[in-house]
Structure 1
Amino acid sequence: MTTVEIGLGLQSDKGAGDYAELARSAEAHGFDVLTVFGDLMYQPPIFPLLEMAAATERVRLGVACLNPYSLAPYEIAGQIAALDLASRGRAYLGLARGTWLGAVGIDQQRPLTTLEESAQVVYRLLRGDAEGYEGRVFRLAPGTTLRYPVHRPDPPLLLGAWGAKGAALAGRIADEIKVGGSANPSMVKVIRERLRPGAEAAGRNAEDVGIVLGAVTVVDTDGAAARARARAEVAMYLAVVAELDPTLEIPADLVARVKELVDAGRHEEAGRLIPGDLLDLFAFAGTPDHVAAQAQALIDAGVRRVEFGTPHGLSDRRGVELLGSAVLPGLRRS
């Protein structure tokens, strides 16, 4: 039986030294994976990842996710090679189409082709394949290879996706698929079935592709304060993810009103509109016992990894401490 991993997802908005401190604490508490988000207009995730690699010995490290519209595949190959070298073989690569890139003038055409071909280019470069590659979006001229040694030619690949086509692609080529912004156990079965056609077409077992669910996390002994903070955080992305979850029927007027308030900068007011049962599907929020129960429900539904996302608690350090000392010990993970 596969043992479930528990990870932390970190935003790249902190100062030098902060990531090393959080990483050491997380590893000491028994977390398995540390992820840094690759969100638009935040620091490039390679900076905190390299800092955390130097501060840890055991945890896996990766970015969820880089996108090949704003970072060329040969640059992605270089970054994953650098992280894998610095961590002595603990890196994984996360790829996704990215969001909100229209704000910087980037048009996201052919998303599935772009993701698949970028993965092709990255792994050909890591393997030292000099034959060249001619895709619809990306190409490598024959003889084009990396001019430095790499630690591993095949670090694990994670694709970020919700939809059927993206999941089918993950079924064909990825080791893991991440559904970001969800804590809904019902999504695990949906994603498993969406993986299946791609996996079967590639002669793979869909069960071998790990499903990762991650979402905003706010844990505190003051459960009401934690849930209030989480509501404000979830309000900022509810309009994006609510329509992606086919297991839910959320009133359109609720989503529209939340979005209207968020657009006006009234995040706390927007969050107060989100009912508690809906909050639990898009965030891990409340006391340690409540958050542990949410995580266990995902484990029981069949996830390979639960990822507790930022801000973790009313403060990062306090949140990581509570997750490590009061949530992890009670989880049944195999």
Structure 2
Amino acid sequence: MTGVEIGLGLQGDKPAGAYARLARAAESYGFDVLTVFGDLMYQPPLFALLEIAQATDRVRLGPACLNPYSLAPYEIAGQLAALDLASHGRAYLGLARGTWLGAVGLPQPKPLATIEEATAVVYRLLRGDRSGYQGSVFTLAPGTALRYAVHRPDPPLLLGAWGPRGAALAGRIADELKVGGTANPDLVPIVRDRIRVGADAVGRDVDAIGIVFGAVTVVDTDGAAARARARTEVAMYLAVVADLDPTVVLPDGLVAQVGQLVDAGEHEAAGRLIPDGVLDRFAFSGTPEQVAAQAQRLIDAGVRRVEFGTPHGLTDERGVELLGAAVLPLLRRGRG
């Protein structure tokens, strides 16, 4: 799988010790990247990532994503520096505007400027640049500097975005763009063209920016049970992503019907409304062979990293075991 990475995304809902156990298993199977999500009201990613850093030796690791509305740039720089030090230079930084922040009273004005300027401040601090920064959202007074040593001044930057402007920003400043909540290969060329707009504007090679697709994953030898669980999971975020993918045409009224059932707490009933074709656009699910085939289609379309997201299987441990022992070998064989 030269040039292609396979990652595992973990939710911040586990007790101490569980992250280390899953991370050791994932690294032993050959996963390349471990991500911890930064979703609202879950544990802050740093807790899990520091545990993972101590339990692993090889995998890249980072949050996907932190947001600069709830965490100031100097705090982001500090968390990234701590993770990079603990992992001996294996950290990456994921930034995004965040979702559902209205629930905690945080408005999100000027999202592109906020992300770009937060990035500028973070990396100035990591580089020890004391010249200051004056933006429309964030400022850094001349002479302001971190008061501790950092492992690297330039850990890789991943931006999370779906839209054209966010993708173009990634083309200008990021190492990777992650499109979360999709397993749709038809979207890949559209994302690449959106990245190209930003890359061309600053003279970057569009192929230097890695495209990352990640989504809910449920794998099991009982493929029907896995797909039923995945339907329930997808139902909870279908309304968020359904309108973001220009290649997907949904049955009339589906999003509204699913949303009504989710709001009523009837998640399984909501999931049962989701057709197979829709499910396969927004999740990896089924037997190891089915999940590997979905991932391979993304790789063939040009995705540089496929990220298998929570819940992984009918249980986390079984899902990680099957992804590592059954899905990864099929992908390696496909690239062999």
TM over 0.5: yes
Q: Does residue 249 of structure 2 align to residue 249 of structure 1?
A: yes
Alignment check: 8 A CA contact 1:9 1:37 kept = yes
Alignment check: 8 A CA contact 1:95 1:160 kept = yes
Q: 1:71 maps to which residue?
A: 71
Q: What is the RMSD computed on CA atoms of the aligned residues?
A: 0.9
Q: Does residue 221 of structure 2 align to residue 260 of structure 1?
A: no
Structure 1 position 252, deviation (Å): 4.0
Letter in 2 for 1:189: P
Structure 1 position 333, deviation (Å): 4.3
Please give the per-residue CA displacement for 1:164-206, whole angstroms capped at 9, x wherever unaligned.
Answer: 0000000000000000000000111010000011001111011
Change (3 A) 1:161 1:333: farther
Structure 1 position 293, deviation (Å): 0.3
Alignment check: 8 A CA contact 1:3 1:333 kept = no
Cα distance in 1 for partners of 2:136, 2:2 equals 38
Cα distance in 1 for partners of 2:41, 2:335 equals 35
Cα distance in 1 for partners of 2:13, 2:249 equals 34
1:30-49 equivalence runs, <5 A: 30-49=30-49
Q: 1:232 maps to which residue?
A: 232
Q: Which runs of 5+ in 2 are unaligned?
A: none
Please give the per-residue CA displacement for 1:111-162, whole angstroms capped at 9, x wherever unaligned.
Answer: 0000000000000000000000000000000000000000000000000001
**TM-score normalised by length of structure 2:** 0.98
Change (3 A) 1:333 1:174: farther
Q: 1:171 maps to which residue?
A: 171
Q: 1:121 maps to which residue?
A: 121
Cα distance in 2 for partners of 1:171, 1:148 equals 31
Q: Does residue 25 of structure 2 align to residue 25 of structure 1?
A: yes
Cα distance in 2 for partners of 1:68, 1:150 equals 21
Q: Which runs of 5+ in 1 are unaligned?
A: none
Please give the per-residue CA displacement for 1:24-64, whole angstroms capped at 9, x wherever unaligned.
Answer: 00000000000000000000000000000000000000000
Alignment check: 8 A CA contact 1:299 1:333 kept = no
Cα distance in 1 for partners of 2:213, 2:169 equals 17
Cα distance in 2 for partners of 1:333, 1:232 equals 32
1:206-221 equivalence runs, <5 A: 206-221=206-221
Structure 1 position 2, deviation (Å): 5.0
Return 267-276 or 324-333, whichever deviates more: 324-333
Q: Secondary structure at the match of 1:68?
A: coil
**TM-score normalised by length of structure 1:** 0.99
Number of equivalenced pairs: 334
Cα distance in 1 for partners of 2:157, 2:281 equals 26
Q: 1:15 maps to which residue?
A: 15
- List, as ranges, runs of 4+ consecutive aligned residues in structure 1 with deviation greater than 3 Å: none
Percent identity between the two aligned chains: 77
Q: 1:316 maps to which residue?
A: 316
Structure 1 position 251, deviation (Å): 2.8
